[in-house]
Amino acid sequence: MDFQLTEQQELIRKEVATLARSFSLDYWLEKDRKAEYPTDWIRAFAQAGWLGMIIPEEYGGSGLGVTEAALMLHEICAAGAGTTGASPIHFYLFPPMPIIKHGSKELKRRYLPTISTGEITMSFGVTEPNAGTDTSRIQTRAERHGDRFVVNGRKVWNTNAQHATHTLLLARTSPRDPGSPFGGMTLFFTPFDRTKITVREIEKLGRAAVDSNEIFIDGLEIPATDVVGEVGRGFYHLLDSLNPERIFTGIEAVGIGRAALERGVQYAKERVVFDRAIGQNQAIAHPLAMAWAKLDNGRPCGAESNAAKLMAAEAGFEACDVALQTHGGYGYAKEFYVERLWREVRLYKIAPVSQQMVLNYLSEHVLGLPKSY
């Protein structure tokens, strides 16, 4: 990475890289094959103190920021862990942010220390099948009954629901007002009560080891003390998660691209065809060099987190694609590792927001063009 790191940031980068690379590529291959959650990986990061990176020191964390967290996620992905290793870790980084910034002292005291030690596993309940990227149209309802809310509804693409102990959940507490469509939603952080939540796993292209799910909520009771921030202001509190999430997923895409490029370059040096290393051929060497240039010199560091995510997803995917192509037919074989990275990095062109929706945002809010949707 070619920007100047502080001494502390450089130490974080090196220590995380060492820990991440102590888990072999075969470890990740096996987790992907078995669709097995990387519990020992999470435990290792918890024991090293990394899960509490953004938690304030008074609640048992390190009190560091988005930059340090992004450095950690980059090194995780650059080590070859891909989204299989990054996703379980970044759920300790962006979902707690609304609690840190807007939660009551009692809510922070109750939850932040156990988040920092990894005792809590979080799910993130925002997206709904009938709302998509228009969060203002979610239909999950939370009705107040005295000192608690009763929630009914449905969420989709809920990560970690198979293992979650708690959920960050967005629900409507008042009807949608066309004049203020993002008002009237409330954010909760509460135990994942499986007697009231039914979980159905979604089979998907990549990241098989980390579950994605549809959940059905029927009569979930949430104490009013589990409200994050103000009732009716939940969407605005949630932005403290969504903006860092774009940065985190962007830097993960770059890290995955670097891991794939490392594999591709090594293979190009070792693979001999027609009595010469294939990397000696410009048709192989030039795309690898271009992928490196886009990951490094053309680094994705726009002022807006959306722009950073857009460019990082493109650069990361292209690097993985070039690395897979370099391997020829072997690129399709799981034993050479790059096919998993290629499958996993593709997610970042869709989530947490699609490339097209980012371009819509930039067209309207940066270029001043008329809204297209």
Give the pLDDT of residue 298: 44
Rounded CA gap, 77 and 13, in Å? 12
Region 7-116: CATH code: 1.10.540.10
DSSP code of residue 263: H
| Cα dihedral 228, 231, 236, 238 sign | positive
Query: What is the domain partition of the chain in residue ranges?
Result: 7-116, 122-233, 238-365
Q: Which fold has domain 238-365?
A: Butyryl-CoA Dehydrogenase, subunit A; domain 3 (1.20.140)
Tens place of pLDDT per residue across the chain (373 aa): 456 889 999 999 999 999 999 999 999 999 999 999 999 999 999 999 999 999 999 999 999 999 999 999 999 999 999 999 999 999 999 999 999 999 999 999 999 999 999 999 999 999 999 987 899 999 999 999 999 999 999 999 999 999 999 999 999 999 999 999 999 999 999 999 999 999 999 999 989 999 999 999 999 999 999 999 999 999 999 998 888 888 898 889 999 999 998 999 999 999 999 999 999 998 888 888 778 877 765 444 433 567 777 788 888 898 999 999 999 999 989 999 899 999 999 988 888 888 888 887 777 777 787 777 7
Burial of 15 (0-12, 13-18, 19+ CB in 10 A): middle
Give the pLDDT of residue 302: 38
Burial of 283 (0-12, 13-18, 19+ CB in 10 A): exposed
Reading the block at residue 234, the tokens are 């939940």
| CATH 2.40.110.10 for domain 122-233 | yes
pTM here is 0.85
Reading the block at residue 102, the tokens are 């807007």
| Cα dihedral 301, 304, 308, 311 sign | negative
Two domains, one topology: 122-233 and 238-365: no
pLDDT in tens, 326-365: 999 999 899 998 999 999 999 888 888 888 888 877 777 7
